[in-house]
């Protein structure tokens, strides 16, 4: 009986304790996680970008040669439509009002507006764009200090670490998504070009997110989100901030990216050549030409050399080489590894700016044209109506431009994003475009203008 009474007492004590514990207030967990803190810190520096652009639709039933539009201009109605695109950006310098975004966010824009998180709205000045890297720098002016983001280090990214994306997908402002770093060094091929060295993440990045910040868990900027890959499902990509910073510096200082001169022409490695050289893998690009008195010639490179790496980039294609070359600044020393005489050799190349005096030769070789400033004699000779631009005075027989109908007397108004007002602009545009496989030209004939996508010759 004594044991039974003891058991009853113990049960009573147990259940009394349970009721007392339940009656106590619940312990509150800290809801301000690192993600919440990072978003609060950076959110004010994320901007909504809206840009308007005009689309002209005019029928050309043959479609093959845009210069035939002269024939159809009287028979097909031209329609102009105003369209709006939305994107994101992040303020990287609050004192000077600099905003970093994607180049495709403001492509062809005729008007751009920026809206901050506090709903302040600003007109925008385009500081510079670089379509090859899909980056652009904008500037706004404010009477009060602007918030800005802290820079991180994209070379220090760890696969699997938590990341945060902020942007304006589908017009929903300041949307936050999270994920992890899935991979580094990804290459993405679009309809127009190949982009290299992207950060891959599983965070949702949709139209409108483009140009917004990719942050680490500390709220530091490690990348610029981009939504250029339409086929991506559950995959996001971002441009590493360390790659972007060199481009941003050039855009702010010069309005365009200054490309270093190495002085090489290369081609893909043929698998048969790889077998002949007894290489274990088909790696590298073959040097086909070394320019006279170029940094490459002074470093000792020669046709037939097989370049395996440039800087830290392993070369598997010509695209890899061009991307690595575009990432080098003039005056920078860069190391490359090459295969020669059955062994690997390393060389250092000290790059330099491309010599301005070589531009006429470059234009004749790559575009197949000669140009001159529009002087009174040229205006009279060709009956030119253009107010600015440079006159095409010669077209190389057999060149791409010659084959599609460009002729002396046409006026060149633009190369890619660069407006051509005079020969100095043409020189700058040719130097910046010399590593590309194709460029977009704006050509005027009489009162009509035409956009031409042109393959660059060698």
- 124-164 pLDDT, tens digit per residue, is 999 998 888 899 999 999 988 899 999 999 999 999 999 99
- With pLDDT > 70 as the criterion, what percentage of the chain qualifies? 83
- Residue 97, pLDDT > 90, answer yes
Is residue 423 in a domain? yes
Q: What is the pLDDT of residue 21?
A: 63
Is residue 54 in a domain? yes
- pLDDT tens profile 168-219: 866 667 789 999 999 998 887 776 667 778 999 998 887 778 899 999 999 9
Among candidate residues 288, 319, 353, the one where a domain is terminated: 353
Owning domain of residue 401: 357-455
Residues near 390 by beta carbon (within 8 Å), at least 6 away in sequence: 371, 372, 373, 374, 411, 412, 420, 422, 423, 425, 426
Does the annotation count 210 as an active-site position? yes
Residues near 69 by beta carbon (within 8 Å), at least 6 away in sequence: 58, 60, 448, 450
- Residue 60, pLDDT > 70, answer no
Q: What is the pLDDT of residue 58?
A: 47
Are residues 287 and 310 both part of a single domain?
A: yes
Distance CA(83)–CA(89), nearest Å, equals 20
- pLDDT tens profile 282-315: 688 999 989 999 999 999 999 999 999 998 888 8
- Residue 76, pLDDT > 60, answer no
Are residues 369 and 336 both part of a single domain?
A: no
Does the annotation count 104 as an active-site position? yes
Q: What is the pLDDT of residue 24?
A: 64
Among candidate residues 208, 243, 278, the one where a domain is terminated: 243
Are residues 49 and 120 both part of a single domain?
A: yes
Distance in angstroms between the alpha carbons of the first and the last residue of the chain: 107
Question: What's the number of domains the chain is made of?
Answer: 4
SS3 358: helix
Q: What is the pLDDT of residue 78?
A: 47
Are residues 304 and 322 both part of a single domain?
A: yes
Are residues 43 and 135 both part of a single domain?
A: yes
Are residues 119 and 202 both part of a single domain?
A: no
Are residues 235 and 283 both part of a single domain?
A: no
- Residue 5, pLDDT > 80, answer no
Are residues 364 and 338 both part of a single domain?
A: no
- pLDDT tens profile 314-337: 888 888 888 888 888 889 999 999
Is residue 349 in a domain? yes
Is residue 333 in a domain? yes
Catalytic position from the list 51, 88, 104, 425: 104
Q: What is the pLDDT of residue 28?
A: 67
Among candidate residues 94, 117, 139, the one where a domain is terminated: 139
Is residue 249 in a domain? no
Q: Which long-range contacts (CB under 8 A, 24 or more apart) does 268-272 make?
A: 268/317, 268/318, 269/306
CATH value at residue 100: 2.40.10.10
CATH value at residue 312: 2.30.42.10
Is residue 27 in a domain? no
Q: Is 109:94 a contact under the CB 8 Å cutoff?
A: no
Catalytic position from the list 134, 320, 416, 425: 134
Are residues 414 and 342 both part of a single domain?
A: no
Is residue 305 in a domain? yes
Are residues 374 and 450 both part of a single domain?
A: yes
Is residue 5 in a domain? no
The residue among 137, 139, 109 whose CA lies nearest residue 123 is 139
Catalytic position from the list 210, 294, 323, 433: 210
- With pLDDT > 90 as the criterion, what percentage of the chain qualifies? 45
Are residues 234 and 326 both part of a single domain?
A: no
Kind of pairing between the strands at 411-415 and 285-290: unpaired
Are residues 49 and 116 both part of a single domain?
A: yes
Q: Token digits for 19?
A: 């009721």
Q: Which of 123-132, 229-238, 430-439 has the highest mean pLDDT?
A: 123-132
How deeply is 295 buried, as exposed, middle or buried, from its count of CB atoms within 10 A (0-12, 13-18, 19+)?
buried
Query: Residue 71: which pLDDT band, with cuts at 50, 70 and 90?
Result: very low
């Amino acid at each position: 009986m004594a044991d039974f009474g003891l058991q009853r007492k113990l049960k009573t004590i147990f259940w009394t304790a349970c009721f007392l514990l339940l009656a106590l207030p619940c312990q509150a967990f800290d809801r301000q996680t690192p993600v919440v803190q990072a978003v609060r810190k950076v959110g004010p520096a994320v901007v909504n970008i809206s840009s308007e652009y005009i689309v002209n639709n005019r029928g050309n039933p043959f479609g093959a040669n845009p210069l035939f539009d002269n024939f159809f201009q009287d028979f097909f109605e031209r329609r102009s439509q105003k369209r709006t695109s939305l994107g994101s950006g992040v303020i990287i310098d609050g004192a000077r009002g600099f905003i970093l975004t994607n180049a495709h966010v403001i492509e062809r824009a005729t008007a751009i507006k920026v809206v901050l998180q506090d709903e302040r709205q600003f007109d925008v000045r385009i500081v510079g764009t670089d379509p090859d890297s899909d980056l652009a720098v904008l500037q706004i002016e404010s009477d009060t200090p602007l918030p800005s983001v802290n820079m991180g280090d994209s070379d220090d990214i760890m696969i699997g670490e938590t990341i945060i994306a902020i942007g304006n997908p589908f017009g929903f402002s300041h949307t936050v998504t999270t994920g992890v770093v899935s991979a580094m060094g990804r290459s993405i091929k679009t309809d127009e070009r190949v982009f290299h060295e992207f950060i891959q993440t599983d965070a949702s990045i949709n139209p409108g997110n483009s140009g917004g910040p990719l942050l680490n868990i500390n709220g530091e900027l490690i990348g610029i989100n981009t939504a250029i890959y339409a086929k991506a499902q559950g995959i996001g990509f971002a441009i590493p901030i360390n790659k972007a910073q060199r481009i941003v510096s050039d855009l702010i200082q010069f309005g365009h990216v200054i490309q270093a001169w190495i002085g090489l022409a290369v081609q893909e490695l043929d698998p048969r050549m790889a077998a002949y050289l007894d290489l274990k893998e088909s790696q590298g690009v073959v040097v086909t030409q070394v320019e006279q008195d170029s940094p490459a010639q002074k470093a000792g490179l020669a046709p037939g050399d097989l370049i395996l790496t440039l800087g830290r980039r392993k070369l598997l294609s010509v695209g890899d080489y061009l991307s690595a070359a575009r990432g080098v600044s003039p005056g920078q020393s860069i190391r490359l590894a090459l295969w020669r005489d059955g062994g690997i050799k390393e060389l250092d190349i000290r790059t330099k700016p491309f010599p301005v005096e070589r531009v006429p030769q470059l234009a004749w070789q790559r575009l197949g044209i000669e140009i001159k400033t529009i002087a009174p004699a040229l205006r009279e000779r060709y009956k030119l109506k253009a107010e600015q631009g440079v006159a095409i005075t010669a077209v190389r027989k057999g060149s791409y431009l010659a084959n599609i109908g460009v002729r002396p007397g046409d006026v060149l108004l633009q190369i890619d994003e660069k407006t051509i007002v005079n020969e100095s602009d043409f020189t700058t545009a040719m130097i910046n475009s010399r590593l590309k496989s194709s460029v977009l030209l704006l050509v005027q004939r009489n009162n009509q203008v035409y956009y031409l996508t042109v393959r660059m010759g060698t």
